[in-house]
């Protein structure tokens, strides 16, 4: 039996807004724990475009998305948040003491008086290629995320995709796998030019096998994946022996089980007020791209503002008998709060 995780604020979504909420809550001495379906913090910034420059973060004329996540993680380190990564918030139950019990699809239970839904555009689900019986091989050789690179050591791997994730993982796993193949349906890649050049350099060295103008159309094996069938535009079908197939075609945002929690939803976004970004259910707030209100702008900057105000109201719910005293960090510093 897993032990129930207890915290002051349970944050669903570990993207930039969820991470900044940890900082603002930490200034109020509120403990936070985050749940995210992705295997690492950062949301879209880490998973989809880590090398994309962002120009509208105050104080940064330009910052790479991945670097922004790194900085946010460094900023919240003093407050020691907990993480349940690779897990999707599935069910919610109000407890007799007023707290919420949230259980993930893996059975991890979380207990908190306040919930922040900071899921960006929703729960990101991998875009699965239309291959017959692919579900039967999931976690048996087919993976949509690289959660533990060491599981691929000495193995034969095929990666499919043409974006940053496919390129970056091909480069990284070239030093881990016995043999690695990158399969892309076109000859041009969508990822960073630097990453494309590194992949071609690995191909020249014989460390990566590049197969373009092709796609995976079949999976081979019994209890575990043993190979894939590739259809080339001009050369027809061929089989390739692999231990793992990693299709990296991006993510699809879905509101997911949260949409069944009784929250007021408009066009796949959660309705909130603009006083503290509370939802129609007391104790549950929605911040960042997942919420909607008149004049809403889907900007990281706006999400930071929403997180700040939500934390002020969260303090009153967690500590109804305490007086909230606002303090400037420029005067007290982090340790003095």
Does residue 62 or residue 227 have the better pLDDT? Answer: 227
Mean pLDDT, range 269-282, rounded to an integer: 96
Query: CA-CA distances (angstroms) from residue 316 to 11, 253, 270, 305?
Result: 17, 32, 22, 18
Q: Quick one: pLDDT at residue 38? A: 85
**205-209, 251-255, 258-262: the lowest-pLDDT one:** 251-255
pLDDT digits (tens, 9 = 90+) for 199-215: 999 999 999 999 999 99
Residues 6+ apart with CB under 8 A from 129: 160, 215, 216, 247, 249
Mean pLDDT, range 174-197, rounded to an integer: 94
pLDDT digits (tens, 9 = 90+) for 307-320: 999 999 999 999 99
Mean pLDDT, range 318-337, rounded to an integer: 74
Q: Quick one: pLDDT at residue 124? A: 63
What is the value of pTM for the model shown? 0.68
Q: For a pLDDT cut of 70, what percent of the chain falls above it?
A: 94
For residue 244, what are its two tokens? 């793992």
What structural domains does the chain harbor?
Answer: 5-125+252-332 (3.50.50.60), 128-249 (3.50.50.60)
Q: Is the pLDDT of residue 133 over 80?
A: yes
Q: 45 and 316 in contact (C-beta within 8 Å)?
A: no
pLDDT digits (tens, 9 = 90+) for 283-311: 999 999 999 999 999 899 999 999 999 99
């Amino acid at each position: 039996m897993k032990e129930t995780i207890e915290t002051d604020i349970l944050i669903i979504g570990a993207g930039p807004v969820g991470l900044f909420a940890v900082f603002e809550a930490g200034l109020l001495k509120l403990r936070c724990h985050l749940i995210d379906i992705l295997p690492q913090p950062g949301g879209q910034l880490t998973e989809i475009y880590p090398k994309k420059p962002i120009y509208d973060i105050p104080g940064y004329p330009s910052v790479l998305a991945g670097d922004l996540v790194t900085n946010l993680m460094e900023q919240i380190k003093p407050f020691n948040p907990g993480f349940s990564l690779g897990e999707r918030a599935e069910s919610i139950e109000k407890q007799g003491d007023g707290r919420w019990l949230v259980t993930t699809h893996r059975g991890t239970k979380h207990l908190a008086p306040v919930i922040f839904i900071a899921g960006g555009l929703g729960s990101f689900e991998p875009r699965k290629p239309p291959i017959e019986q692919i579900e039967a091989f999931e976690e048996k050789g087919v993976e949509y995320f690289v959660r533990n690179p060491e599981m691929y050591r000495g193995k034969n791997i095929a990666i499919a995709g043409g974006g940053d994730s496919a390129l970056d993982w091909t480069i990284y796993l070239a030093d881990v796998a016995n043999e690695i193949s990158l399969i892309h349906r076109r000859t041009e890649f969508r990822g960073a030019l630097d990453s494309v050049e590194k992949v071609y350099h690995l191909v020249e060295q014989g460390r990566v096998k590049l197969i373009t103008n092709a796609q995976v159309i079949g999976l081979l094996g019994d209890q575990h994946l043993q190979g894939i069938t590739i259809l080339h535009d001009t050369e027809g079908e061929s089989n390739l022996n692999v231990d793992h197939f990693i299709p990296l075609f991006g993510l699809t945002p879905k509101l997911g089980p949260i949409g069944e929690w009784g929250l007021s939803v408009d066009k796949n976004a959660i309705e909130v007020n603009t006083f503290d970004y509370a939802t129609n259910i007391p104790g549950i707030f929605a911040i960042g791209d997942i919420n909607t209100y008149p004049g809403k702008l889907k900007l990281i900057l706006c999400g930071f503002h929403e997180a700040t105000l939500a934390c002020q109201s969260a303090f009153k719910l967690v500590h109804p008998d305490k007086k909230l005293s606002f303090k400037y960090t420029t005067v007290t510093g982090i340790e003095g709060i």
